């Protein structure tokens, strides 16, 4: 049976929730991120479309955003408000199908292959229901797989409703930047650019031997399939958590190994509490440092067996931390636990 996948993406979600509380800001460039203070370190979580025309995007430093758009209104992140709004949105998504895969608070994939109704009608009604109950706008993309559904939801933002079929790939997908494709991040994009690949169509036309000369056989095959709109990933109704972590960006670069050790332990205590709340055990500990020049290094240690005991995890965190070069100015510190399994099954 041909699959029909829907991707629902809330438009400028965090900013839209804020505008419902502050309607006087409608039509203005609004940026949500960090503590809402562009003089302090932090990154953009989202921005209204009025701010995006200045080149502002998620993940950009708040200070950079302030330089690009000095007149923007900066607001702090309010996750409890966003989670409450997300819960209301997902009630509508769950009413469409149980075959639902959340991706963060503001987007999800739905497998509607077993629905007899026209997919566009389902999407149109879903958008209207979300708007009526939350006053928030969703863009909906429909396709034969997750890749094309995701691309479709972005094509006509904001307030889009788009159906991409496989036959549409040459005309609608190939002209798009190659970074549009799932699995093409900054590094892969740079390597493809060195091969003269700028668009999805360029990638589709690239000889397979040339692609295999730059990437592994598996990666090259994956890129070729994506360029032709092919994607076998299922909608996963039960997502397995792969890691639990926490990061902190220091307001002033940290040069003290003692303070870094203290902060890393505080982070581990917080992460460990979440681990035990979920009844999980972890096998791998990772400590990440980002330095003043934005270079980022990680050090990891895997235990012989997964555990939920704090002591061996703390020893591993300390070992990973002091495997770094700590005499440099540290901008960001992160602690992550991965290789997660149910604690009972691990015998932790």
Check if the beta carbon of residue 6 is closer than 8 Å to that of residue 119: yes
Catalytic residue among 18, 50, 107, 263: 107
Count the neighbouring beta carbons within 10 Å of the beta carbon of residue 23: 7
Torsional sign, CA 84, 88, 89, 95: positive
| DSSP for residue 324 | S
Omega before 201 within 30 of 0, i.e. cis: no
Q: Are 46 and 32 in contact (CB under 8 A)?
A: yes
The encoded tokens of residue 125 equal 């009604």
* DSSP, res 61: B
> What is the rounded distance in angstroms from the CA atom of residue 45 to the CA atom of residue 59?
6
Which backbone phi and psi does 41 adopt, to 5 degrees?
-70, 145
Dihedral sign from CA coordinates of 39, 41, 43, 45: negative
Smallest CA-to-CA distance from 110 within 3, 242, 1, 13 is with 3
**Cβ proximity of 18 and 25 under 8 Å:** yes
Q: Whole-angstrom Cα distance, residue 155 to residue 92?
A: 23
Taking only Cα atoms into account, the Rg of the chain, rounded to an integer number of angstroms, comes to: 22
213 Cβ neighbours under 8 A, 6+ residues apart: none
Look up 107 and say whether it is catalytic: yes
293 is in an annotated binding site: no
Angle at 138 between CA 113 and CA 145, to 5 degrees: 30
DSSP secondary structure letter of residue 178: G
Name the residue among 292, 296, 293, 271 with its Cα closest to residue 282: 271
**9 annotated as belonging to a binding site for a ligand:** yes
- Would you list which residues are annotated within the binding site for Mg(2+)? 9, 106
- Residues annotated as catalytic are 107
């Amino acid at each position: 049976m041909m699959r029909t996948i829907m991707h629902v993406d809330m438009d400028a979600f965090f900013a839209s929730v804020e505008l419902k509380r502050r309607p006087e800001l409608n039509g203005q460039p609004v940026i949500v991120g960090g503590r809402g203070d562009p003089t302090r370190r932090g990154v953009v979580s989202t921005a209204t479309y009025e701010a995006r025309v200045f080149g502002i995007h998620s993940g950009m430093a708040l200070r950079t955003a302030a330089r690009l758009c000095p007149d923007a209104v900066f607001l702090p992140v309010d996750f409890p408000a966003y989670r409450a709004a997300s819960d209301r949105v997902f009630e509508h998504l769950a009413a469409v199908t149980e075959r639902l895969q959340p991706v963060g608070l503001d987007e999800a994939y739905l497998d509607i292959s077993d629905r007899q109704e026209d997919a566009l009608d389902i999407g149109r009604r879903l958008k209207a229901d979300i708007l009526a109950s939350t006053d928030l706008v969703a863009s909906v993309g429909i396709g034969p797989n997750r890749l094309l559904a995701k691309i479709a939801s972005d094509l006509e933002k904001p307030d889009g409703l788009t159906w991409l079929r496989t036959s549409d790939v040459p005309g609608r997908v190939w002209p798009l930047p190659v970074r549009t494709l799932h699995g093409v991040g900054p590094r892969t994009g740079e390597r493809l650019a060195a091969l003269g690949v700028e668009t999805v169509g360029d990638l589709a036309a690239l000889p397979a031997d040339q692609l295999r000369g730059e990437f592994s056989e598996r990666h090259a095959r994956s890129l070729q399939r994506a360029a032709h709109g092919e994607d076998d990933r299922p909608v996963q109704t039960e997502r397995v958590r792969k890691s639990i972590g926490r990061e902190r960006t220091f307001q002033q670069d940290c040069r003290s190994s003692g303070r870094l050790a203290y902060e890393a332990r505080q982070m581990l205590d917080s992460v460990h509490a979440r681990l035990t709340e979920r009844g999980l055990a972890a096998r791998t500990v990772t400590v990440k440092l980002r330095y003043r020049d934005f270079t980022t290094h990680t050090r990891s240690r895997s235990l012989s067996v997964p555990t939920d005991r704090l002591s061996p995890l703390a020893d591993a965190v300390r070992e990973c931390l002091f495997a770094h070069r700590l005499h440099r100015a540290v901008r960001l510190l992160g602690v992550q636990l991965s290789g997660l399994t149910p604690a009972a099954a691990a015998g932790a």
